[in-house]
């Protein structure tokens, strides 16, 4: 219910939201949790395993119980913590893990079956019979597992990723973080201050109290006003720092649009990568529960959460509250509630020496041993000495002590340190380079302690950066000592919950130890404690304390499990912002792109490029018809294709030829100016890296062509070789791939076409290059061929590419030719036995592809020595061959080869097929393949088997060059 005059919500702005279809009122500034409490909704979810009725446990991002689905127009987000989700007009939330509804859930039978479902249940139950696993158990478990549901649709919401840089990152804006940020900001450092919640102030806003004799909230307001006026401070609310990574980099998730009605283009979330020279962890501490019988009923929650709900949101979840504590902290809650007119029936304090509290009864040395109330607590049973008595209550606050929020300090494998006086783990110094943990996050639990620690941490950070420090006086605030007598669990024979989210009880931990899983890491995996969405924030320390107790060890000796990033869940959509569908990678478009699409060409992706697959003509029903026509067109007349995607690297310098000799297996330094040579380059391990042609444009000027796929790879390789092996050589190179649009003109009519386009005959020998002027534009003409026909490639600066493409196309069509696409290009090169990366796939050598003679004996080159290692040459190698099926059957790339009479199994494998096509020129299927000792086996019949596609056909082994083996057409 609402409490008048309390809270920081905006009562002038009422909003309505829905929960499980019920429309309910709230105010701007409410979280879903506070709004539900305001509406007296106690039951908000069902637990994971036993489907126990559950209520709100906390007021923060650590919430294990109140997880809901948020239903948007185009999004459905499961496992949203109601304590984090802010209410806005029209917000629709749905409870999860229940059917048919929250109050009456069929799966609550699991709770009755609890004795069967203890820790290790899976391992014991689903072991036999073995055959049941895949068919029965796994589908069953999959259906029962998981929390919440997905819409099954793409999340088309807007998400954002961004970078931020600063001198000092302050994580958490409670007293420690605020004063640390102020100290650093006044000194002129660039500060980023992040806080998870919508309003900075931390527990100063939750607990009230005074600073310098004034309400703490006034100090917060004054500090925030100063910070927001400073140009060197960036304040990020609703931003959770989720991970600490190398080199001062942090991940942080900002809720940009999740707290309001969707707006066009407004990101839902932004995933920040913050790079900071130094950081201060001021993330505070999390209050922990105490385990006792049936401690998981709705209405049982953290004492500190009660204060937060009252002071920040003006709501209380009960009219008659009791508190169960082992430290003085619960007194703040009791006083706040009583001051607001809420009855505090009693404080059950486990300490014999607990102080009295005016206005309520303190049961010293007492413990809660049980509760009642199916859908919400109605009564607790207390044991004091040997006396048991009952207290009627509708809300029980738990104050089991505080755990510093050490999580980020563990992200680089730092282990927290046990502080006996606090009965808690605190961060180890230096766990994250450049990070100082301060305030409650470091175990200083008083406001005064936090303020002092914040200033010290900021000054240390400033000094470490060589920055001047500033004058900030330590304000005067509450400095009560933290007095705690640890109490983790009240012994019971029944179930007392540790991990609410995953339904792990003290019994489960004891059972784990009893069955031999005594290590904390084993216990975690055996019981699933700490593996729920809250990642053990509420239960880790208590669970290991219970484990320590049952195994007779001390807590530090028992050790901790590892906190890993992210601190709170991060949506994949935010980390992959912009990367959905077309955003996955940059798209590279040719200058001819529109012209090709206008002709109906289906575009295929080649690396990042989009290239035309084929150019359909009216009446052609399949791609094959178009492809066959294009092949015949090139062989019979002339074809034009855009080959601009091939990598082009411009090399210059007196040592450029020498450099090429070192890069390529064959010699380039002897190539005359105006000529082009085909070259092969190896990786350092002796396998083929890439192939292509290099032209000598002038004495010290060369132009290398790489394959499309390896353009970047080759550039990187050249950089590596140059920088590492021959940095002092007189050679410079740069990519000019994007500078030139280049078109292949191939076929018996190619010379005629170029003569018409250039206004004169090209007059180039095979493998020649010359500068040309084409229609007033300076370009380059190469006589090279990837088709086996007389072929040219003409290059012009890219801005003229589209115009030249359209011009060449028109000329080709006038001459009975036209455009050809990637499919025809592939057929043409297979017919000619030319290789692509289907053949030089990274595991083949120059020997394998029949080019060992291209590895010059007269010089060294990258990869030469490694290519001569034993096993890299010889008859045992798979060697490139051609294949022709004996029957009119299609063959497939990926099929394997076997001796004609052999059984087609792995042991008998003789090789594999890399490329296939239907050759309209030879009216046959053709293949390129690697066959053991293949070059000696031309003419032999082998068996081609594709187990996947059910192909089994006999083929003749041939030379890989099927078309014009003498090369007469090329040189015509």
Q: List residues binding another protein (CB under 8 A).
A: 158, 160-165, 190, 256-257, 260, 263-267, 273, 275, 578, 583, 585-591, 608-609, 650-654, 728, 730, 732-740, 774-777, 796-804, 807
- 881 SS3 class: strand
Residue 620 contacts by C-beta under 8 Å, 6 or more apart in sequence? 626, 629
| Whether the Cβ atoms of residue 43 and residue 54 lie closer than 8 Å to each other | yes
- Closest CB to another protein among residues 594, 889: 594
For residue 177, the minimal CB distance to another protein (Å) is 22
Task: For residues 669 and 654, give the distance between their C-alpha atoms in angstroms, rounded to a whole number.
Answer: 11
**Six token digits for residue 734:** 């740069």
| Whether the Cβ atoms of residue 36 and residue 298 lie closer than 8 Å to each other | no
- Closest CB to another protein among residues 300, 757: 757
- Closest CB to another protein among residues 382, 649: 649
- 856 SS3 class: coil
| Whether the Cβ atoms of residue 260 and residue 268 lie closer than 8 Å to each other | no
- Closest CB to another protein among residues 599, 701: 701
Q: What angle do CA 54, 57, 63 make, to 5 degrees?
A: 100
- Closest CB to another protein among residues 724, 857: 724
Task: For residues 118 and 50, give the distance between their C-alpha atoms in angstroms, rounded to a whole number.
Answer: 10
Residue 864 contacts by C-beta under 8 Å, 6 or more apart in sequence? 665, 682, 686, 855
Q: Which residues of 23-46 are buried (b: 16+ CB within 10 A; e: fewer)?
A: ebebbbbbbbbbbbbbbebbbbbb
Q: What angle do CA 566, 572, 578 make, to 5 degrees?
A: 130
- Closest CB to another protein among residues 671, 757: 757
| Whether the Cβ atoms of residue 33 and residue 82 lie closer than 8 Å to each other | yes
For residue 726, the minimal CB distance to another protein (Å) is 11
Q: Token match 């890993």: residue?
A: 564
- Closest CB to another protein among residues 167, 296: 167
Residue 853 contacts by C-beta under 8 Å, 6 or more apart in sequence? none
For residue 860, the minimal CB distance to another protein (Å) is 22
Q: Identify the CA nearest to 742 among candidates 710, 776, 703.
A: 703
- 560 SS3 class: coil
For residue 553, the minimal CB distance to another protein (Å) is 47
For residue 263, the minimal CB distance to another protein (Å) is 6
- Closest CB to another protein among residues 127, 585: 585
For residue 710, the minimal CB distance to another protein (Å) is 17
For residue 423, the minimal CB distance to another protein (Å) is 42
For residue 573, the minimal CB distance to another protein (Å) is 14
For residue 434, the minimal CB distance to another protein (Å) is 16
Task: For residues 172 and 202, give the distance between their C-alpha atoms in angstroms, rounded to a whole number.
Answer: 8
| Whether the Cβ atoms of residue 425 and residue 418 lie closer than 8 Å to each other | yes
- Closest CB to another protein among residues 504, 808: 808
For residue 758, the minimal CB distance to another protein (Å) is 12
- Closest CB to another protein among residues 341, 578: 578
Task: For residues 498 and 47, give the distance between their C-alpha atoms in angstroms, rounded to a whole number.
Answer: 13
For residue 776, the minimal CB distance to another protein (Å) is 4
- Closest CB to another protein among residues 543, 795: 795
Q: At what angle do helices 540-551 and 506-514 cross, to 10 degrees?
A: 40
- Closest CB to another protein among residues 191, 926: 191
For residue 671, the minimal CB distance to another protein (Å) is 19
Q: Token match 């006396």: residue?
A: 387
- DSSP β-ladder status, 320-325 and 395-399: parallel
Q: Identify the CA nearest to 707 among candidates 636, 788, 646, 633.
A: 646
């Amino acid at each position: 219910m609402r409490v008048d005059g309390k809270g920081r919500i905006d009562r002038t702005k009422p909003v309505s939201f829905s929960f499980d279809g019920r429309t309910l009122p709230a105010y701007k500034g409410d979280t879903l949790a506070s709004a539900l409490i305001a509406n007296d909704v106690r039951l908000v979810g069902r637990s994971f395993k036993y489907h126990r009725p559950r209520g709100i446990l906390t007021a923060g991002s650590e919430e294990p119980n109140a997880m809901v689905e948020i239903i948007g127009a185009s999004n459905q987000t499961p496992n949203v913590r109601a304590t984090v989700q802010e209410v806005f007009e029209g917000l629709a939330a749905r409870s999860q893990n229940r059917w048919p509804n929250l109050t009456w859930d069929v799966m609550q039978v699991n709770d009755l079956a609890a004795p069967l479902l203890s820790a290790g249940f899976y391992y014991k139950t689903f072991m036999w019979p073995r055959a049941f696993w895949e068919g029965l158990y796994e589908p069953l478990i999959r259906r029962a597992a998981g929390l919440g549901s997905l819409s099954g649709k793409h999340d088309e919401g807007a998400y954002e990723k961004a970078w931020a840089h600063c001198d000092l990152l302050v994580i958490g804006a409670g007293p420690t973080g605020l004063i640390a940020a102020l100290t650093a900001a006044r000194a002129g450092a660039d500060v980023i201050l992040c806080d998870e919640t919508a309003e900075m102030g931390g527990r100063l806003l939750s607990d009230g109290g005074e600073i310098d004799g004034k309400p703490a909230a006034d100090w917060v307001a004054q500090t925030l006003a100063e910070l927001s006026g400073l140009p060197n401070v960036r304040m990020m609310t609703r931003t959770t720092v989720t991970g600490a990574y190398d080199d001062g980099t942090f991940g942080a998730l900002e809720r940009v649009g999740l707290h309001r009605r969707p707006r066009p283009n407004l990101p839902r979330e932004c995933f920040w990568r913050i790079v900071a020279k130094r950081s201060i962890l001021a993330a505070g501490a999390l209050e922990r529960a105490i385990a006792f019988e049936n401690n998981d009923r709705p209405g049982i929650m953290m004492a500190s959460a009660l204060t937060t709900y009252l002071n920040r949101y003006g709501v209380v979840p009960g009219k008659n509250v009791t508190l169960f504590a082992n430290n003085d902290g619960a007194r703040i809650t009791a006083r706040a509630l009583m001051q607001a007119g809420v009855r505090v029936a009693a404080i059950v304090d486990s300490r014999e020496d607990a102080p009295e509290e005016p206005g309520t009864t303190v049961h010293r040395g007492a413990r809660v041993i049980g509760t009642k109330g199916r859908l919400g607590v109605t009564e607790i049973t207390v044991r004091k000495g040997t006396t048991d008595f009952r207290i009627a209550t509708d809300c029980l606050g738990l104050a089991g002590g505080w755990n510093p929020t050490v999580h980020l300090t563990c992200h680089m494998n730092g282990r927290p340190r046990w502080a006996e006086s606090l009965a808690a783990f605190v961060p180890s110094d230096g766990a994250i380079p450049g990070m100082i943990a301060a305030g409650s996050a470091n175990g200083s639990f008083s406001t005064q302690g936090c303020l002092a620690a914040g200033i010290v941490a900021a000054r240390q950070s400033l000094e470490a950066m060589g920055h001047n420090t500033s004058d900030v006086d330590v304000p005067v605030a509450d400095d009560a000592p933290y007095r705690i007598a640890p109490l983790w669990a009240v012994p019971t024979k029944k179930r007392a919950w540790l991990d609410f989210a995953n339904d792990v009880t003290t019994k489960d931990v004891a059972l784990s130890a009893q069955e031999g899983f005594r290590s904390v890491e084993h216990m975690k995996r055996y019981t699933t404690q700490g593996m729920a969405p809250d990642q053990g924030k509420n239960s880790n320390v208590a669970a290991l304390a219970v484990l320590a107790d049952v195994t007779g060890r001390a807590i530090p000796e028992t050790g901790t499990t590892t906190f890993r990033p992210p601190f709170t869940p991060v949506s994949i959509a935010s980390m992959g912002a912009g990367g959905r569908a077309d955003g996955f990678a940059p798209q590279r478009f040719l200058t001819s792109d529109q012209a090709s699409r206008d002709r109906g060409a289906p575009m295929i992706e080649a690396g990042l490029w989009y290239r035309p697959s084929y150019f359909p003509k009216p009446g052609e029903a399949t791609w094959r018809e178009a492809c066959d026509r294009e092949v015949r067109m090139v062989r019979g007349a002339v074809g034009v294709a855009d080959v601009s995607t091939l990598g082009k690297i411009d090399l210059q310098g007196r040592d450029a030829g020498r450099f090429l000799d070192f890069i390529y297996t064959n010699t380039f330094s002897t190539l005359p100016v105006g000529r082009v040579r085909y070259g092969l380059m190896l990786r350092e391990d002796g396998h083929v890296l890439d192939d292509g042609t290099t032209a000598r444009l002038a004495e010290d000027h060369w132009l290398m062509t790489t394959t499309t796929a390896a353009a970047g790879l080759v550039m990187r390789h050249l950089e590596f070789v140059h920088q590492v092996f021959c940095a002092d050589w007189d050679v410079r190179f740069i990519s000019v791939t994007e500078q030139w649009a280049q078109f292949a003109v191939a076929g018996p009519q190619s010379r005629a076409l170029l003569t018409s386009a250039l206004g004169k005959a090209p007059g180039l020998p095979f493998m020649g290059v010359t500068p040309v002027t084409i229609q007033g534009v300076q370009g380059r003409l190469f006589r090279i061929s990837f088709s086996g026909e007389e072929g040219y490639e003409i290059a012009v600066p890219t801005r003229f590419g589209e115009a030249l493409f359209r011009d060449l196309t028109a000329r080709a069509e006038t001459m009975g030719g036209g455009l050809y696409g990637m499919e025809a290009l592939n057929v043409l090169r297979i017919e000619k036995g030319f290789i692509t990366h289907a053949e030089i796939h990274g595991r083949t050598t120059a020997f394998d592809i029949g080019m060992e003679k291209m590895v010059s004996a007269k010089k060294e080159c990258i990869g030469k020595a490694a290519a001569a290692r034993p096993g890299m040459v010889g008859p045992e190698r798979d060697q490139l061959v051609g294949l022709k099926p004996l029957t009119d059957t299609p063959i497939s790339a990926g099929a394997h080869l076997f001796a004609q009479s052999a059984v087609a199994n792995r042991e008998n494998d003789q090789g594999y097929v890399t490329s296939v096509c239907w050759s309209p020129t030879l009216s046959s299927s053709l293949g390129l393949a690697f066959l053991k000792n293949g070059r000696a086996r031309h003419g032999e019949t082998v068996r081609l088997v594709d187990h996947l596609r059910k192909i089994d056909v006999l083929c003749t082994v041939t030379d890989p060059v099927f078309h014009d083996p003498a090369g007469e057409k090329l040189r015509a």
